[in-house]
Amino acid sequence: MKTQYPHLFSPIKIGNITFKNRIIAAPTSLMNLTAEGYLTPENIAYYELKAKGGVAAVTLGESIVHSKTGKSHDQQIPLDDPHVLSGLSSVVKAINRHGAIANIELSHGGKFAGITSIGGDVINDTVAYGPSEEILPSGEHVYEMPKEIIYEIIESYGKAAAKAKRAGFEMVMVHAAHGWLLNQFLSPAENRRKDEFGGSLENRARFLMLVLDEVRNAVGPGFPIQLRLNGDDFTKGGIHLEDYKELAKMLDSKVDLFNISCGSHDGENLFVRTHPSMFLERGCNVYLAAAIKEVVTKPVSCVGALYNPEQCEEIIASGKADMVEMARALLADPDLPNKAYTNNSSDITPCLRCYVCFENAVNKHIIGCSVNPVIGNEEACTSISSISNKPKNVLVVGGGPGGMQAAITAATRGHNVTLCEASNSLGGSLKFAAYVPFKKDLYDFEQVLEKRLKNSSAKVLLNTKVNKEYVENLKPDALIIAVGATPFIPPIKGIQNENVLLALDAESNPSKVGQKVVILGGGLVGCETAINLYKEGKDVTIVEMRSSLAPDANDFHKMAMNMELENIKKETNTTGKYIDNKGIMCTDEKGDEIFIEADTIICAVGLKPCTDVVEELINITSEYYIIGDCKRPRQVTQAVSEAYYAALDI
Ligand SMILES: Cc1cc2nc3c(=O)[nH]c(=O)nc-3n(C[C@H](O)[C@H](O)[C@H](O)COP(=O)(O)OP(=O)(O)OC[C@H]3O[C@@H](n4cnc5c(N)ncnc54)[C@H](O)[C@@H]3O)c2cc1C
Ligand SMILES: Cc1cc2nc3c(=O)[nH]c(=O)nc-3n(C[C@H](O)[C@H](O)[C@H](O)COP(=O)(O)O)c2cc1C
Ligand code: SF4
């Protein structure tokens, strides 16, 4: 078989190990460990799924080398605990089963360990040690790390690497990026020490150099050591590309593979750069890897919003980097490498860059992805998703993402599926995404679902509005109701005027939108509509009756949106009263009237579920499921997941 991506799928030798292709699963730490930080079967299944998908190597996320001082989250693998070995060995076996190399990230949280405000080791009340003493904005005290602890930590890197090798890992990644310990020592903004670990670049790099030497002593020559380094901290007073180039030259002889990332977990504008938001170009950080590659002799990998195999092929072919690393793209579709290799890229589920995975990890301590209902539930899905031994006639009502996913899964399980959609096209509420540049991933996702549906055995009937009689005549064994939601229209005077558009119509018909725009409703949909129109050069004001914008967005996406909303006019605590042909009259929080001129008013005050249709369709068949927005208007993540599991239940 001839792959379309010969460079991406060519082998490469790192140290004395041959990697089968150029794709590495970037480190992702997960919260579903035991309270002690031991690997669970779910966690192992997650890493195994990535290996099965065809990557050359799978990297376990931040694992702590010195847990007394280094834990930066509640749940991290403590590499200095003897009981972690069996879990590590098991995960290696699971990864190796599919021909992938197991890699593990050796890490230390530095000043953020023991900091309760970010969920450090709250149980043991660890002292936080950074390069220099400081009081964090949270009021928490960071102490200057004494030299004896520096040397203890260096030794623990070696011990951790030796343990990883013993468990069967064939590469270790030293984490010196993203604002953790080694990055803190590198940064002149953080490191104000007067001893041999502070001052010049050489001194600030001493800790890292000694760590790399210790790791090399532990693993021996030829064993691949990967270094995760920033190409730019993007912080005031931090290290920038030119200094990183100097540093990379100093480290070149000590590592086998550089992975060039950037930014930090600490700071809104940094987080959305380290994990590029939907508002940034895919591969926006590749230039950093390319610049480092110019000055080192060892291979370099890049990371950040990479998923498109064509783009990855171009990166390797043009010599910008030797390997690509992906985190979220493989949560969204662990099979990405296999699909690309077999020239089936159009079936890759794209990552939406919606940050739901982070929200799940940080706030719920689970793994979950908007577009991949299996991730985080791998074990349960393998046992139940097999072909049904009792095929049924299934009617799916609604062709939005929920209905499409349900029909695809039910058909894949061998049921006879018919999907009816009232309008003349599939996509439901996602149709708007085709018109919004930063929703390209969402549009691609909708297209992937359409294609899968077309290729499935399910019958699709457009322009077919289902009612009670329809179901009674068809007599399906099982009914999936996925009829979605419709925009809520507030009862204010003038709302039916010609100068008022619904958000969905405004996005799909940009020519109908005037220059001066008021968005009525500052929820997620209103804010994103505002951002899109602002980017198109419109004069936009958001009017929101609540005190804050987008309470329905997850915290991480809100960070990204807030940066985009910075220059957009916002009137919070402000309520629309009536609309005329010149604009909208509102009242502010004091009850004073303010008139905002506008050519177009866009109504984005929320959606209401199609409860009437649901009520008409239930209790006709013995088996029925209500899924997605018609249950309660939410997002793709719930529509897709509820659809998938309903189809598994049939
Ligand atoms: C403007 C806008 C922007 C959004 N942006 C995002 C975003 O960026 N990210 C995100 O995750 N979510 C977003 N959402 C929410 C997301 O689109 C919904 O959560 C998701 O589409 C719900 O899927 P669903 O299949 O349940 O319903 P829908 O997508 O609403 O689909 C329901 C379908 O059922 C059909 N139907 C209704 N009645 C019948 C009937 N009687 N017979 C046959 N067919 C019928 C409808 O025509 C429709 O096609 C957005 C929503 C809107 C309105
Ligand atoms: C759920 C999740 C957990 C992550 N955990 C880690 C981690 O433990 N260590 C690390 O260096 N990076 C971690 N990252 C960052 C990724 O390795 C990667 O650098 C970043 O997400 C950008 O790549 P992407 O756009 O392909 O997701 C994590 C990312 C995600 C999505
Ligand atoms: S949850 Fe969203 S950002 Fe995270 S991997 Fe899935 S689609 Fe991508």
Q: Which pLDDT belongs to residue 139?
A: 80
Q: Is the CB of 400 under 6 A from ligand 1?
A: yes
Class of the CATH domain delimited by 12-379: alpha beta
Is the predicted pLDDT of residue 502 greater than 70, yes or no?
A: yes
Q: What is the reported pTM? A: 0.96
- Residue 2: CB atoms within 10 Å: 5
- The angle that helices 440-455 and 401-412 make with each other, rounded to 10 degrees, is 40
Q: Are strands 12-14 and 485-487 parallel, antiparallel or unpaired?
A: unpaired
Residue pair 629/484 in contact (Cβ under 8 Å)? The answer is yes
Rounded Cα gap, residues 315 and 615, in angstroms: 53
CATH 3.50.50.60: which residues of the chain?
500-605
pLDDT in tens, 528-552: 999 999 999 999 999 999 999 999 8
Tokens of 234: 């993007």
Domain covering 387-486+609-649, topology: Rossmann fold (3.40.50)
Is the predicted pLDDT of residue 396 greater than 80, yes or no?
A: yes
Name the least confident of 216-220, 364-368, 420-424, 481-485.
Answer: 364-368
- Region 351-364: what's the mean pLDDT? 93
Q: Transcribe 409-443 into DSSP letters.
A: HHHHTT-EEEEE-SSSSS-GGGGGGGG-GGGHHHH
> How much distance in Å is there from the Cα of 359 to the middle of ligand 3?
10
- Region 11-30: what's the mean pLDDT? 96
List the residue whose alpha carbon is closest to atom 3 of ligand 3: 353
124: pLDDT confidence band, cut at 50, 70 and 90?
Answer: low
Is the predicted pLDDT of residue 119 greater than 60, yes or no?
A: no
Q: What mean pLDDT is reported for the chain? A: 94
pLDDT in tens, 589-604: 999 999 999 999 999 9
Q: Which pLDDT belongs to residue 350?
A: 98
Ligand nearest to the backbone CA of 180: 2
List the residue whose alpha carbon is closest to atom 13 of ligand 2: 28
Specify the length of the chain in residues.
650
Q: Choose between 375 and 324: higher pLDDT.
A: 324
Residue pair 541/595 in contact (Cβ under 8 Å)? The answer is no
CATH 3.20.20.70: which residues of the chain?
12-379
Outline where 132-205 has alpha helix (H).
147-167, 181-186, 201-204
384: pLDDT confidence band, cut at 50, 70 and 90?
Answer: low
Rounded Cα gap, residues 630 and 324, in angstroms: 40
Is the predicted pLDDT of residue 615 greater than 80, yes or no?
A: yes
Is the predicted pLDDT of residue 121 greater than 80, yes or no?
A: no
Instruction: List residues near ligand 2 (CB under 6 A).
Output: 26-29, 61-62, 105, 175, 178, 228, 261, 275-276, 303-306, 326-329, 357-358, 361
122: pLDDT confidence band, cut at 50, 70 and 90?
Answer: low
Name the least confident of 278-292, 356-370, 567-581.
Answer: 356-370
Q: Which pLDDT belongs to residue 383?
A: 61
Rounded Cα gap, residues 136 and 112, in angstroms: 10
CATH 3.40.50.720: which residues of the chain?
387-486+609-649
List the residue whose alpha carbon is closest to atom 15 of ligand 1: 635
Query: Percent of the chain, pLDDT > 90?
Result: 87
Query: Percent of the chain, pLDDT > 70?
Result: 97
Q: Which pLDDT belongs to residue 297?
A: 98
> How much distance in Å is there from the Cα of 26 to the middle of ligand 2?
6
> How much distance in Å is there from the Cα of 632 to the middle of ligand 1?
11
Q: Which pLDDT belongs to residue 14?
A: 98
Domain covering 500-605, topology: FAD/NAD(P)-binding domain (3.50.50)
